[in-house]
Amino acid sequence: MIGPSFEAVLAAAAGGDELAFGTLWRDLQPGLLRYLNALAPGAGEDLASETWLRVVGRLDRFSGDERAFRAWVFTVARHRAVDRWRRTTRRHDELVPTDALVHLPAPDDPASSAMDAISSRAAVALIATLPPDQAEVVLLRVVAGLEVAEVAAITGKRPGHVRVLAHRALRRLATRLGEPARVRGAV
């Protein structure tokens, strides 16, 4: 989050200031890549470029605070991903890379106790194994840092449904993260 200086940064970026745009880009690009890589694995870079191109084209028309700006950028990114998904006419769950799960350490791994042992990439890959609606809700809440109402507006769901999806996703993740240890403990 940029903070109180967001309005000035946004105005400068809308005026063509590259430094201000770089600030916006550095703040949003990592989350954008993680979100888009989960929605469309292997196409996150392209979709992020398309998203920024669209955002830059309409930057001077945007009005709102930083949260609204983040919600708008992720809305544009989601539209880009949906368009790409429609073009490729693939099923969403076929786009999830399962090989990325290899890098996720087991919960009983001694290295797993260290927080930095789990890379953000592996964590996003594990979240992406959830059902698509649950994975999207969790990514928008965690990676994009959006609230329930904003996620509901982006995904076109009711806030109550977003909460239910988040609860189910957390429970499923907890179950999934406990399964390997259970198996190893049985062995």
Partner 1 sequence: MDAGNVFPAEMPDDHPQPMAQPIVPLDDDTAERLLAGHLHPEDAPPGYAEVARLLQAAAGPPSPEELAGLEAALAGFRAARGGLGQGRALRHGRDRPPPRRGRGRPPPRRGRVSAPFRRGGGRPPSRPGAPARLVALALAGTLVAGAMWTGGGVWIADGALTALGLRSPSGGPGSGGPGFGAPGSGDGPGVAGGAGRAGGSGSLRPVTTAVTGGRAPGPPSASERAAAHHGRGATSRGGGSAHGARLGAHGKPPKAKPPKAGKAEAGKARQGEPKMGGPKRGGAKTPRTKAGGNRTRAG
Positions in the binding site for partner 1 (CB under 8 A): 16, 18, 21-22, 25-26, 29-31, 33-34, 45, 49, 52-53, 56-57, 107-108, 112, 115, 118-124, 126-127, 138-139, 141-143, 145, 163, 166-167, 170-171, 173-175, 177-178, 181-182, 185
Minimum CB separation of residue 180 from partner 1 in Å reads: 9
92 or 177: CB nearest partner 1:
177
**Between helices 18-39 and 120-127, what is the axis angle to 10°?**
50
Helix (H) / strand (E) element for 1: namely: none
Minimum CB separation of residue 34 from partner 1 in Å reads: 7
| CA–CA distance, 134 with 33 (Å, rounded to integer) | 18
Q: Is 106 exposed, middle or buried (0-12, 13-18, 19+ CB in 10 A)?
A: middle
Residue type, 49: S
91 or 116: CB nearest partner 1:
116
Are 14 and 60 within 8 A, CB to CB?
yes
Minimum CB separation of residue 147 from partner 1 in Å reads: 9
Minimum CB separation of residue 28 from partner 1 in Å reads: 10
